[in-house]
Each structure stands twice: as structure tokens, then as C-alpha cells.
Structure 1
Amino acid sequence: MTDPVFIHPLPQDCGAGSAFALTGAEARHTEVKRMRDGEPLVVTDGVGSAIRGHWSAGQVVVDEQLGVTPQVPRVTVVQAIPKSDRAELAVDLMSQAGADRIIPWAASRSIAKWDGKEEKARMKWENAARSAAKQSRRLLLPEVTELLRHPQDLGSFFDANPASSAPKILILHESATQGIQAVDFSGVEDVVLVVGPEGGVSEDELEQFAALGAQPIRLGPEVLRTATAASVALGALGVLTARWGNETGKATIG
């Protein structure tokens, strides 16, 4: 069984042998799990630093620092807002499957709307991503961004550094003729997966994404629901790219 993961700020000095206390929700989590002295655990700040340690007298005693580097290529999911009962499921599944960043998208055919409640809705997605990351033993938390209102604004979410390569943007579309297995990912640093609403991506939106260099692809013969499409695509990317074979991009837990 792998070590439980707690997401909590790490002290500035957390070398081997040092100790610190967990606070807030993570302190309550230790009570729920009934942590006993000597039991191993991992604590990550979710953004690049993590330690393996053990529980002792109500504190975390650090055994070692863990190297944490992002997977390559980095994957951003542009997720059209699903119906309320499926939104958190979509975020949960894509977080388990390894999404690095999640951009909620107010697609024209999305039934659910965030008008007037953007921050509250985004926090729900953030909490779902955090919970799924802990359950799947992730050391890097998926970032949940502000709402994307128009496809042409997607470029603002990426580094404007001219030395950076442009992201490969893939639209999951049932009418696409090319499968994801035919896409060339050589040298690609960023992949963007665009997942439309249940009603599909409109022609106008397809044109706007196409102007950014996006290409429509399909995952297979089945038409997937918006809540599951990203997680299936992430699984495919794990096989088709170095993400699952990139041992430098993960830290072994347990």
C-alpha cells in the first residue's frame, strides 16, 4: 500500500530529522486516518516540493526530501462547463488521470453557466482537483484557472516567451477523421485538450480554435461524454508520449 499524501505548506527548513505540525484540514485528516506513531506519510506543497516522513507524537518527522518535476509534455484541459452533477466528476477524473492544468470554458452550448458565481464555482473545481490529487497520490496539484470565455483568448494562458514552442491544441470531436494515435508529439512541450459540452463545439468555436492552430481528433469509435473524455484522452497521451515513461517526472511513494 502506498503512503498517504497530505497537501500542506512545508517549512523553510525541512531537512531530514526536522519536525513540523500539520494544521487545518490536513490536521483533521490525520485524525480521520488515525495516524499512529511510526506510520509513513508524504507531505507536498502541491507546487514542487515534497517530503517523505513518519508520524510521531502528533508531528511529521522528515526522513527525506523528494524530487518533484513536471511530466512532459504538460497537459492543459480546456473543459466546457458540464451540468452541475457532472462538473466535479469531470474534474475528479481528469485530475486522477494527470491533468496539469484545467481551464473551465464557457462554451456557447454549455447548459450550465457561471454568470455571477465564477469564484464560487471555480473553488468547487479546485477542491475536487485537490481531493482527487490526494487520492491518486499526486505530488503536483492541477491548477484550476479563471474562466475562458472565448476560444481566441486561450493564448493568454500560455507563456508569451517567443523561445517557447506553441502548444499542440487538440479538439476532441466526434466528426474528426484523424485519431489521436496519428498525432505527432515529437518535441511537444505543451498539449491542450479541448473538451466540448454535451451539445458539441459550435462551428464558430471550431473556427476560432482552428485559427490558433488546433486540430480536431477522435479517441475511438465511441462518442464519450464530456465528463469522461479528458480522462480517456490523458490515458492515451500517457502511452503515446513520454508521460508515463518519464521517471524523472514523478516521485515514488511507498
Structure 2
Amino acid sequence: MANLYLNEALTETRSGEFIELSGPEAKHVTTVSRAKVGDDLLIGNGRGLFAWGVIDTIEGGRVSVRVSAVREDEQATPGLVLVQALAKGDRDEMAIQAATELGVSRIIPWAAARSVSRWEGQKKEKGRSRWETIVREASKQSIRSFVPPVEPIVSTSELATLASTSRVLLLEPTATDKLSELSLADGDTGSDILLVVGPEGGISPAEIETLTAAGARAVRLGDTVLRTSSAGPAALAVLNVALGRW
């Protein structure tokens, strides 16, 4: 399968038309992939559009591709949203990378009570930008037609507001209900499912009380405790099977 390159400015195209890559994407084509005129290329816009084509010219830091086939995908419903608590080291980054590869539709950073890492002041936008880069690269690696957006960081109170209007599942090892036994037919089957993953120390009792009072439901994956880097991806795998996507 060809590597995926992104041109977010691309809105539509047809077979026989030309589209271009420039900047870092064009540089990657020529210096990393070492592609040449006549080679096949796959280009997406990160919003559902895929265009297959053949490199026509490479010059002036630009790669021109003649389109041979086009496909437009629809977003899968319900969307699977990862609410990932900030974690120390790179564990939160490992989580969002794997979640992207597993088909998450949106990612929401969460400033949990027990989060050691903090995004404050300028770190809010810097941290979000870092996550966006990770998600973008993971989307290219996994040949995804949609690049999931990374939304602004939320507090617990803001997350509680989401829980009052959305299907929110708290991944909590002490919960009685198993995620694998949950009926996804309950409630609005078209609304997104938000998976909430706590930091290394877990979701605090006060946060569990606040979120469940707002409508969230606590569920567990099994009898063991997973790291914050693996809990979200494991839950996404369970839901992908339950929804018939795998």
C-alpha cells in the first residue's frame, strides 16, 4: 500500500486533474520516500477524501500528481471519543497515538485531579499542538481518511457538562459493569461515545462522583489494571468489535 500524504487545503478533485504537495509533505516524498516521476502516490485531506495518482513532476519544492482515482468516506457513527487525562512522561502521547491508529474520531485532553503533568498558560496551546502533530502522523501511518481533531483541554467540571449531554463511559477498574457486556443499543445510538481515561493514579473518588452524578457510567475492562497509555486503546478495540467495525 502506498504511503499517505496530506494536503489539508484539498476540497475536491477528479480523475485526470492535478493536485500538488508542497512544504514538509513534498520534502518527505522526495527525501524520505525517495519517490520519482511515475511513482504512485496517495493523497488525503484528512476530512474523508482520498486521491490516488501518479507523480507527474517534481520541481521547485513541489510535487504535482495526476489523479487516477478518488474516494470520499463518511465518518463512522457513533463516533468514539477518547478523553485522555494528562500523564507524566510520554504515556498520554502513547495513548493518543495508538487510539488514532484504532479509529478514534476525536481526542479531548483532560486536566484530571491526579494528573502530574499540567498544561497551564502557554502550555495549553503548546501541548495541544504537540498532540495534533502526533495524531496527524499516526493518521498518515495508519492510512486514515479522517484525521481526528484534538480539542481544547477540559476541566472536570467541563467534562461533567459533556456527561450531561453525551454517552460518557469512565474506565474504572473497580466498576461492577464490564465494557464488553455493555449494550450499545442503550440510549441514543447516533450520539458519540466518550471514553474517559484517568492518569497514573486513576480517577479520584470525587471525580467519579461528580461525573456519574452528571450521567457518566463507570465500566471496567477486566480483572487487571491497565496503564493510562493502554487503557483507552484497549477500550477502543472492545468497542470496535462490539460495533462490528472489526
Q: Same fold (TM over 0.5)?
A: yes
**AA paired with 2:125?**
E
Aligned match of 1:39: 39
Per the TM alignment, residue 10 of structure 1 is displaced from its structure 2 partner at its CA by: 4.7
Per the TM alignment, residue 11 of structure 1 is displaced from its structure 2 partner at its CA by: 4.3
Aligned match of 1:251: none
Aligned match of 2:135: 129
- Unpaired runs of 5+ residues, structure 1, are 159-165, 245-254
Residues 1:93 and 2:98 are matched in the alignment = yes
> What is the count of residue pairs matched by the alignment?
236
- Identify if the C-alpha distance between structure 1 residues 13 and 94 changes in structure 2 by more than 3 Å, giving closer, same or farther: closer
- Identify if the C-alpha distance between structure 1 residues 152 and 115 changes in structure 2 by more than 3 Å, giving closer, same or farther: closer
**AA paired with 2:119?**
W
Aligned match of 1:200: 202
- Identify if the C-alpha distance between structure 1 residues 119 and 139 changes in structure 2 by more than 3 Å, giving closer, same or farther: same
Tell me how far apart the structure 2 counterparts of residues 243 and 188 of structure 1 sit (CA, whole Å): 15
| TM-score after normalising by structure 2 | 0.89
Percent identical across equivalent pairs? 35
Tell me how far apart the structure 2 counterparts of residues 170 and 177 of structure 1 sit (CA, whole Å): 13
With 111-120 and 51-60 compared, the bigger mean Cα shift is at 51-60
**AA paired with 1:106?**
A
Aligned match of 1:51: 51
Aligned match of 1:233: 235
Aligned match of 2:4: 5
Per the TM alignment, residue 193 of structure 1 is displaced from its structure 2 partner at its CA by: 0.2
Equivalent pair of 1:148/1:154 in contact (CA under 8 Å): no
Equivalent pair of 2:6/2:43 in contact (CA under 8 Å): yes
1:143 aligned counterpart, secondary structure: coil
Residues 1:168 and 2:170 are matched in the alignment = no
- Identify if the C-alpha distance between structure 1 residues 48 and 157 changes in structure 2 by more than 3 Å, giving closer, same or farther: farther
With 6-15 and 137-146 compared, the bigger mean Cα shift is at 6-15
Equivalent pair of 2:100/2:138 in contact (CA under 8 Å): yes
**AA paired with 1:207?**
E
Tell me how far apart the structure 2 counterparts of residues 14 and 237 of structure 1 sit (CA, whole Å): 34
Per the TM alignment, residue 157 of structure 1 is displaced from its structure 2 partner at its CA by: 9.8
- Unpaired runs of 5+ residues, structure 2, are 59-63
2:69 aligned counterpart, secondary structure: strand
Tell me how far apart the structure 1 counterparts of residues 163 and 37 of structure 2 sit (CA, whole Å): 44
Equivalent pair of 1:178/1:218 in contact (CA under 8 Å): yes
- Identify if the C-alpha distance between structure 1 residues 149 and 51 changes in structure 2 by more than 3 Å, giving closer, same or farther: same
Equivalent pair of 1:78/1:192 in contact (CA under 8 Å): yes
Tell me how far apart the structure 2 counterparts of residues 168 and 234 of structure 1 sit (CA, whole Å): 14
Aligned match of 1:220: 222
Per the TM alignment, residue 42 of structure 1 is displaced from its structure 2 partner at its CA by: 1.7
Per the TM alignment, residue 72 of structure 1 is displaced from its structure 2 partner at its CA by: 2.1
Residues 1:119 and 2:136 are matched in the alignment = no
1:77 aligned counterpart, secondary structure: strand
Per the TM alignment, residue 90 of structure 1 is displaced from its structure 2 partner at its CA by: 1.6
